[in-house]
Amino acid sequence: MLGQKTLTATAAIVEVNGRSYAPPKRPTVIIVVDGFDPAYLQHGFDNGTLPTMKSFEETGFVAVADCSIPSTTNTNNTSIVTGVPPAVHGINGNYYLDAETGKEIMITDASLLRCEPILGAFSRAGVQTAVVTAKDKLLKVLAYGMAGIQFSSEHAHKTNLAKNGIDNVEALVGRGQPDQYSADLSLFVLDAGVKILSRFGPDLMYLSTSDYVQHKHAPGEPEADIYHHAVDTAVGKLVKLGATVAITADHGMNDKSAADGTPNVVYLEDELNARFGAGSVRVICPIADPFVRHHGALGSFVRVYLREGKDGGAMRAFTRTLPGIELVLDKEQACRQYDLPVDREGDFVVFADRTTVVGARREEHDLSQLAGQRLRSHGGLAEQKVPFLLSRPLNAQYSLRAKTKALHNYDIFDFALNGVT
Ligand SMILES: [Zn+2]
């Protein structure tokens, strides 16, 4: 337990983005395990490698929720920290095409964010907050408007008190900054979270990992078991320290290769331009991420932008005939159905199925980086389900709500702060 630590939280309820959050009754830790498909959870429950999370079936709450579409990292971390869908917060992928300038823009800061994160609102209300994330590119959105501890394990060696609210993070955790492409990039986040909770006792902490392991290893592979067991061990330590721990994911993960190991890919920009004329469309992959080499920028969702005068109806009809394509929606339908911001949407959107990814031009996707491994990725509807776990039982109101209303991963702050006994 935290000994003499008393919460700095005042009694005030925080109102942000149309939702109300009670101040934390005890230290509260929200963990977003990147790429934590429910299949990993089930596997870990079955083979005993997730004993702490399994114990939440008795002592807390275990369910499966929907993530925001597209099922990508930026979109969903932003949904979770703001408590609202992309139609409200504005971040609909890692990459988007600016309709006015025609430029392809990578989202690396909070300039496109249209509302305030819950952490920033609590921080302003005097609650002690902390954020640790694996990838530095997420930090500016997650910690937007927030005072207190905030850093990425990717830049652990660069932390300084003025900028990050903490320094000597490597000494605190007891090891050096992990490699950008390693399981430890994530485990470092969780180990830092345990140390921060025991030493500084923030009231509300957000920990976000990377999906390096899940992109490489299916449920049941030893590397996946070892990693998720280590996550579970850190969760156990946070619970022992007296925290309410809430766990969800930004998206699931599926195998996208054929039986022979080659990826199932539809290069949609090539297909459409071959059929309807060179330069007819530009396809944008919102999963694209120059810092990430493990999925070749291929996921199961893309946005298609038409050159002026082109017939979108004919292109959508043709796209539906391509093998592995699950769903094609025009801009308005997509935004209505999946709560997306209309002014940042393509002319139409395309979902590939559970075993297929969809890309732009063949030359833009470097699959040599897979180095012979099967392609595992996300972005589509088959990766929409994510775990939704709480270390403490729900109160009567939220127990009823969980049974009667659809759960989203962006309800996790609500449940952790308002919904547990
Ligand atoms: Zn992710």
Provide the residue range defining the domain that includes 352. 265-377
pLDDT digits (tens, 9 = 90+) for 202-228: 999 999 999 999 999 999 999 999 999
Distances (CA, A) of 236 to 191, 231, 243: 11, 9, 10
The reply to whether 72 falls in a domain is yes
One domain, residues 215 and 270: no
One domain, residues 94 and 209: yes
329 Cα to the center of ligand 1, angstroms: 24
One domain, residues 346 and 220: no
One domain, residues 275 and 310: yes
The reply to whether 343 falls in a domain is yes
* Short-list 275, 302, 318, 315, CA closest to 365: 302
Cα(34)–Cα(43) distance, rounded to whole angstroms?
A: 17
Q: What was the pLDDT predicted at 96?
A: 80
Tell whether the model's pLDDT for residue 298 goes beyond 80.
yes
One domain, residues 405 and 325: no
Q: What was the pLDDT predicted at 176?
A: 96
Stretch 264-277: mean pLDDT: 97
410 Cα to the center of ligand 1, angstroms: 14
The reply to whether 8 falls in a domain is no
10 band by pLDDT with thresholds 50, 70 and 90: low
Stretch 289-293: mean pLDDT: 59
Tell whether the model's pLDDT for residue 29 goes beyond 80.
yes
CB 347 within 8 A of CB 331: yes
pLDDT digits (tens, 9 = 90+) for 106-152: 887 888 899 999 999 999 999 999 999 999 989 999 999 999 999 99
Cα(374)–Cα(261) distance, rounded to whole angstroms?
A: 6
Q: What was the pLDDT predicted at 107?
A: 81
363 band by pLDDT with thresholds 50, 70 and 90: confident
Cα(113)–Cα(107) distance, rounded to whole angstroms?
A: 10
Stretch 15-27: mean pLDDT: 97
Cα(245)–Cα(234) distance, rounded to whole angstroms?
A: 11
Q: What was the pLDDT predicted at 11?
A: 56
One domain, residues 202 and 306: no
Mean pLDDT over all residues of the chain? 93
288 band by pLDDT with thresholds 50, 70 and 90: confident
Q: What was the pLDDT predicted at 294?
A: 57
- Percentage of the chain beyond pLDDT 70 is 96
The reply to whether 281 falls in a domain is yes
Cα(136)–Cα(5) distance, rounded to whole angstroms?
A: 30
Backbone angles phi, psi at 384, to 5 degrees: -80, -25
Q: What was the pLDDT predicted at 2?
A: 42
The reply to whether 44 falls in a domain is yes
Cα(4)–Cα(55) distance, rounded to whole angstroms?
A: 27
3 band by pLDDT with thresholds 50, 70 and 90: very low
337 Cα to the center of ligand 1, angstroms: 22
pLDDT digits (tens, 9 = 90+) for 232-257: 999 999 999 999 999 999 999 999 99
Domain count, the chain: 2
52 Cα to the center of ligand 1, angstroms: 23
The reply to whether 6 falls in a domain is no
385 Cα to the center of ligand 1, angstroms: 13
pLDDT digits (tens, 9 = 90+) for 302-354: 999 998 888 899 999 999 999 999 999 999 999 999 999 999 999 999 999 99
One domain, residues 35 and 138: yes
293 band by pLDDT with thresholds 50, 70 and 90: low
Among 345, 361, 377, identify where a domain stops: 377
Q: Can you say how many angstroms the Cα of residue 373 is from the centroid of all Cα atoms in its chain? A: 23
34 Cα to the center of ligand 1, angstroms: 5
One domain, residues 312 and 222: no
The domain spanning residue 140 has which CATH number? 3.40.720.10
Cα(206)–Cα(208) distance, rounded to whole angstroms?
A: 7
Q: What was the pLDDT predicted at 295?
A: 65
382 Cα to the center of ligand 1, angstroms: 14
192 Cα to the center of ligand 1, angstroms: 20
The reply to whether 366 falls in a domain is yes
The reply to whether 9 falls in a domain is no
One domain, residues 69 and 199: yes
Tell whether the model's pLDDT for residue 289 goes beyond 80.
no
The domain spanning residue 274 has which CATH number? 3.30.1360.110
292 band by pLDDT with thresholds 50, 70 and 90: low
207 Cα to the center of ligand 1, angstroms: 13
Q: Can you say how many angstroms the Cα of residue 281 is from the centroid of all Cα atoms in its chain? A: 29
One domain, residues 324 and 230: no
The label of the residue with tokens 């930004």 reads: 250
- Percentage of the chain beyond pLDDT 90 is 85
One domain, residues 330 and 357: yes
**Measured CA angle at 140 (ends 96, 88), to 5 deg:** 55
One domain, residues 413 and 361: no
CB 130 within 8 A of CB 148: yes
Tell whether the model's pLDDT for residue 38 goes beyond 60.
yes
Sheet bearing 61-66, strands edge to edge: 61-66, 385-390, 244-248, 28-32, 204-208, 129-133, 149-152
Stretch 58-63: mean pLDDT: 98
Tell whether the model's pLDDT for residue 5 goes beyond 80.
no
